Amino acid sequence: MSGRVGVVVFPGSNCEHDVVEAIEGLGGDAELVWHGARSVAQVDALVLPGGFAHGDYLRPGAIARFSPVMDAVRSFAADGGLVLGVCNGFQVLTEAGMLPGALQKNRHLRFLCTTVSVRIERSRSFISRLARPGTVLRLPINHFEGNYTCEPETLAELRAEERIVARYCDNPNGSIDDIAGITNEAGNVVGLMPHPERAYDALLGSSDGAILLRTMVEPPRGRSRAATAEAGATPGPAGSRLV
């Protein structure tokens, strides 16, 4: 049975349709979820996509963390639901306290728009369950504040608890320990700076991201419960499919 994925849309998000296209292209079902929603649909997974939520004012994710939908995202995750934050979505998850650490300005203070090599690490995360540790993927990055940082104690915990999902093979932004993605203690919340949705099909130059996204299209058993009941339509931008 194909997974049903909710894609959260904040004002300023600009990668939500890329995620929808990728999920549907891999055989899943995807629906947009407006940031004002106070509950989420019965989905198998949620994605917080890239972009500039609320214009990145104050700092990336600082305002988005207060969006009504984030309470539903927290409840969904607490109930075992799968949550992936990509790029700006990763920043939102750290600001919301769902993942440790923070994303600061890139080492050279430049916006990065390129393709990088990322090595999958042995971790407890759901996103890498189909990829063998050591697998190297070619994935796009597009960020100015993708430099992951955390306290030494937090880094020690991430290492000891196998919560580092992926590392850059050639660190482009100064992230501590070459970290490109991490997971929470339960392994069901993941933050990833590279964009797998932009590399799900060979026509895009790489299909390496597909192995990560398929973990939501084909979710493991016992991960299909949302934290709240489906609650009809919520107003959103014209022309979009929202729940």
What pLDDT does 1 receive? 52
What pLDDT does 219 receive? 61
Q: Which tokens belong to 15?
A: 């990668």
pLDDT at 125 over 60: yes
Whole-number Å distance between alpha carbons of 182 and 167: 9
E strand or H helix at 4: strand 4-9
What one-letter code names the amino acid at 90?
Answer: F
Q: Note whether 49 and 61 are within 8 A (CB).
A: no
Cα dihedral sign for 129, 2, 24, 27?
Answer: positive
Residues 170-179 have a mean pLDDT of 98
Categorize the per-residue pLDDT at 158 as very low, low, confident or very high, splitting at 50, 70 and 90: very high
Q: Which tokens belong to 164?
A: 């580092």
Q: Tell which CATH architecture fits domain 4-217.
A: 3-Layer(aba) Sandwich (3.40)
pLDDT at 231 over 80: no
Q: Which tokens belong to 141?
A: 């990055």
Partners of residue 31 on adjacent β-strands: 6
Q: Which tokens belong to 64?
A: 């988005």
Whole-number Å distance between alpha carbons of 153 and 15: 33
> Would you tell me the crossing angle of helices 16-25 and 210-217 to the nearest 10 degrees?
80
Active site amino acids: 87, 195, 197
